[in-house]
């Protein structure tokens, strides 16, 4: 028994020596390197003290090497370690290191402050403040070069709905589509005659982003009165633009975290810089659309998937609670995105596919929980739409029919009944042709210019080389699946919005995936850069800087160009508010910019019907239309094609109403109820009312 204890003691000493050897070699006196003369002399004095049992107190601030010197003295040198375990034993092990904070002098405090500015927490705070100030300056510079106010109809409708929610008016709209009225009438025939006698529920815009804007309007002061001295600016829109730019900054920070998790700090910094220098995203930030909000949601989903992948592939299985929470968060985020833009809901397919294919331990639970979380978020709103219109997504469900013959432009939303407007003539071949034409445009222009830079090409090249890291392989597969799916969804769901603004529109889904493409493209760039045999390591930093400069060149050139004069637009807040001020709040008007009348003027306004005869009478029977307001959207269009397509089109109505030599005052169709018009609108615009609502009027 005694022999066994002696052997066990010797084995323990040998094991302790073998385990401590790396530590001793690390803190050996011969391994201390220094540049200043005083620090080079310090190891010599420390070696003399190390051979005694005296207590040593090396003073100094944290980070100056005081603790390192104490550990160096405490541990034997590697030469002594090689001399035998006896010398490395008792005395050295019996000593201990105690951190003693000496009384700080003023010089010590100044040195500590300077060190904090260079390498401590203060340095990180200064770095974040510098980044934030740089972003703010870039935002101000870009805002001076951008449009003065919104020009996208969906941005105005979302802001208008947020205004109604903030005023506790419910999810109702003043931008009244004839298709919305038709759906409400068919869902409740008994209610059909009174459909315009009370607020009209919106069946077109997803509620997510308007709810966010409503919270913003509740917290911050919004002044909805336009200022004549600032003809092209509108304070509520400036507030929304600033909010979108803050969301953009948050997306940059989140992209940095995702890139650092997948690659390293080099890729994270360069990806964030290129993302912040992408002109396309700056244009989206000032458009008023929900794109910045959805970018933040998509990057959050990517972060959840990356965190789940890391946990589920550990050698020692962790508790499933965190992974289940991440799966629920991913499903909830996709649901919130689907409620912010209906087409984003398709994202749940690649998310579930990612969990089913790449996870082995809890794939069933994770996928089921993500799907249930997604449905819990989406189900109440779909139920509301089904109760009101018998359709799950309201008028948005008809996007598949738009831009097909006979539903060019916005004819679907301007018709009370799509079947009466020609839906029976639509054939499956027409939808197939729409997909082929739009998909060709996506492959030719949208994908090569994804994110307004060339990182897409680096991403494609990176797909040819398999990643060694498992997480990169799986996330790149998820990205490819999502790109393929969203390219199909975007091609089938494109409407007249993509025609009016080919790039900056709410139907551009691929731009939401560009940040993840940017991360993988930047990672491949560094892979190629590391393979280059450069004589000086600083040349790699120079190459990365040149790469960022080239990627950000479109934005830099745009900011360096002279400031263009604001183009004439029908969306002038002061002019619209001055026009609708002639109408009472309960009166109904009709316009070719009803979304702007609702947002700026806060008056009920119907979309133009398909013609000025039968469909106009149908609207007039529901509630008398007491004014028509036509702007440059109608006067700048080609009237000949409208007349050839329909003699009673609003283009023909405008031509007849304009003054001519044989009819100096203009004419309207016989029996048309609106005959009074003020001076000062023609020829660019036309306002016709049922009565004289101004001091002087021209009889038509």
- Window from 40-44, 54-58, 86-90, 290-294 with minimum mean pLDDT: 86-90
Nearest to residue 293, comparing CAs of 304, 284, 302?
A: 284
Last residue of a domain, one of 42, 76, 106: 106
Q: What is the pLDDT of residue 346?
A: 96
Say if residue 548 is in the same domain as residue 630.
no
Q: Rounded mean pLDDT of 513-519?
A: 93
- pLDDT category at 610 given cuts 50, 70, 90 is confident
**What range does the domain containing 324 cover?**
237-560
The pair of three-digit structure tokens given for residue 62, joined into one six-digit string:
């944290």
The CA radius of gyration of the chain, in Å to the nearest whole number, is 34
Say which residue, 19 or 624, is predicted with more confidence. Answer: 624
Say if residue 550 is in the same domain as residue 618.
no
> Which residues on neighbouring strands pair with residue 176, listed in sequence order?
606
- Window from 87-96, 366-375, 415-424 with minimum mean pLDDT: 87-96
Are 668 and 674 within 8 A, CB to CB?
yes
Q: Rounded mean pLDDT of 531-540?
A: 81
Nearest to residue 521, comparing CAs of 471, 466, 477, 463?
A: 463
Q: Is residue 487 in a domain?
A: yes
Q: Is residue 477 in a domain?
A: yes
Say if residue 346 is in the same domain as residue 406.
yes
**Chain centroid, CA 104 distance in Å:** 49
Whole-angstrom Cα distance, residue 351 to residue 326? 12
Q: Is residue 476 in a domain?
A: yes
Say if residue 393 is in the same domain as residue 438.
yes
Say if residue 356 is in the same domain as residue 481.
yes
Say if residue 551 is in the same domain as residue 529.
yes
Last residue of a domain, one of 560, 585, 610: 560
Q: What is the pLDDT of residue 389?
A: 92
pLDDT digit string, tens, across residues 293-305: 999 999 999 999 9
- DSSP code at position 347: G
Q: Rounded mean pLDDT of 406-419?
A: 84
Say if residue 632 is in the same domain as residue 512.
no
- Split into its structural domains, the chain has a count of 3
Are 104 and 112 within 8 A, CB to CB?
yes
Q: What is the pLDDT of residue 80?
A: 45
Say which residue, 178 or 83, is predicted with more confidence. Answer: 178
Say if residue 349 is in the same domain as residue 249.
yes
Q: Is residue 617 in a domain?
A: yes
Last residue of a domain, one of 90, 106, 122: 106
Q: Is residue 257 in a domain?
A: yes
Q: What is the pLDDT of residue 453?
A: 77
Q: Is residue 165 in a domain?
A: no
Q: Is residue 345 in a domain?
A: yes
Say if residue 628 is in the same domain as residue 552.
no
Give the residue carrying structure tokens 């034997």: 76
Q: Phi-psi bin for 671: left (phi > 0), alpha (psi -120 to 50), beta?
A: left
Q: Is residue 123 in a domain?
A: no
Please name the residues in contact with 517: beta carbons below 8 A apart, sequence gap of 6 or more.
Answer: 450, 451, 455, 456, 459, 479, 483
Say if residue 342 is in the same domain as residue 431.
yes
Say if residue 337 is in the same domain as residue 295.
yes
Say if residue 278 is in the same domain as residue 252.
yes
């Amino acid at each position: 028994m005694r022999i066994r204890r002696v052997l066990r003691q010797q084995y323990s000493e040998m094991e302790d020596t073998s385990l401590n050897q790396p530590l001793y070699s690390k803190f050996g006196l011969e391994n201390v390197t220094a540049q200043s003369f005083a620090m080079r002399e310090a190891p010599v004095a420390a070696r003399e003290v190390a051979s005694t049992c005296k207590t040593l107190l090396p003073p100094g601030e944290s980070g100056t090497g005081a603790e390192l010197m104490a550990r160096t003295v405490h541990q034997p040198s590697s030469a002594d370690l090689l001399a035998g375990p006896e010398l490395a034993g008792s005395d050295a092990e019996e000593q201990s290191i105690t951190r003693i904070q000496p009384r700080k002098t003023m010089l010590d405090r100044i040195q500590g402050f300077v060190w904090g500015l260079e390498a401590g927490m203060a340095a990180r705070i200064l770095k974040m403040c510098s980044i934030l100030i740089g972003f703010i300056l870039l935002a101000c510079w870009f805002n001076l070069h951008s449009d003065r106010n919104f020009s996208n109809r969906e941005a105005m409708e979302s802001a208008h709905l947020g205004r109604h929610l903030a005023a506790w008016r419910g999810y109702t709209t003043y931008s009244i589509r004839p298709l919305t009225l038709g759906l409400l009438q068919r869902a409740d025939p008994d209610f059909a005659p009174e459909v315009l006698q009370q607020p009209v529920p919106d069946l077109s815009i997803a509620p997510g982003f308007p709810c966010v804007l409503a919270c913003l309007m509740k917290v911050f002061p919004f002044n909805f009165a336009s200022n004549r001295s600032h003809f092209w600016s509108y304070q509520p829109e400036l507030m929304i633009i600033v909010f979108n730019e803050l969301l953009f900054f948050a997306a940059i920070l989140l992209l940095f975290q995702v890139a650092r998790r997948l690659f390293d700090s080099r890729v994270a910094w360069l990806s964030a810089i290129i993302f912040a220098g992408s002109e396309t995203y700056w244009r989206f930030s000032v458009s008023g659309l929900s794109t910045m909000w959805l970018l933040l949601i998509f990057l959050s989903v990517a972060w959840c998937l990356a965190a789940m992948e890391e946990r589920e592939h550990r050698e020692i299985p962790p508790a499933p609670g965190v992974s289940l929470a991440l799966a629920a968060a991913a499903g909830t985020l996709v649901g919130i995105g689907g409620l912010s833009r209906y087409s984003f809901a398709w994202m749940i397919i690649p998310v579930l596919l990612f969990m089913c294919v790449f996870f082995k331990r809890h794939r069933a639970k994770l996928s089921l929980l993500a799907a249930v979380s997604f449905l819990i978020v989406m189900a109440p709103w779909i139920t509301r739409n089904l109760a009101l219109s018998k359709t799950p997504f309201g008028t948005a469900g008809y996007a598949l029919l738009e831009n097909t013959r006979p539903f060019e432009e916005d004819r679907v939303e301007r018709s009370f009944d799509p079947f009466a407007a020609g839906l029976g003539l639509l054939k499956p071949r027409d939808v197939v042709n729409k997909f082929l034409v739009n998909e060709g445009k996506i492959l030719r222009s949208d994908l090569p210019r994804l994110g307004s830079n060339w990182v897409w090409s680096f991403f494609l090249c990176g797909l040819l080389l398999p990643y060694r890291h498992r997480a990169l392989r799986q996330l790149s597969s998820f990205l490819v699946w999502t790109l393929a799916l969203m390219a199909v969804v975007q091609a089938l769901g494109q409407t007249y919005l993509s025609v009016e603004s080919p790039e900056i529109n709410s139907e551009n889904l691929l731009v939401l995936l560009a940040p993840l493409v940017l991360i993988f493209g930047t990672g491949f760039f560094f892979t190629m850069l590391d393979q280059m045999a450069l004589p000086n390591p600083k040349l790699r930093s120079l190459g990365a800087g040149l790469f960022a400069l080239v990627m950000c060149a479109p934005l830099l050139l745009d900011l360096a160009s002279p400031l263009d004069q604001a183009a004439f637009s029908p969306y002038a807040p002061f002019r619209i508010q001055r026009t609708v001020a002639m109408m009472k709040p309960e009166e109904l008007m009709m316009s070719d910019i009803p979304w702007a009348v609702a947002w700026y003027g806060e008056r009920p306004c119907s979309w133009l019907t398909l013609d000025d005869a039968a469909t106009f009478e149908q609207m007039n029977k529901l509630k008398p239309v007491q004014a028509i307001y036509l702007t440059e959207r109608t006067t700048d269009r080609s009237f000949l094609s409208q007349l050839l397509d329909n003699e009673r089109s609003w283009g023909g109505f405008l031509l007849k109403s304009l003054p001519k030599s044989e009819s100096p005052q203009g004419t309207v169709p016989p029996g048309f109820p609106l005959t009074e018009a003020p001076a000062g609108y023609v020829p660019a615009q036309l306002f016709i009312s049922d009565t004289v609502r101004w001091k002087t009027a021209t009889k038509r």
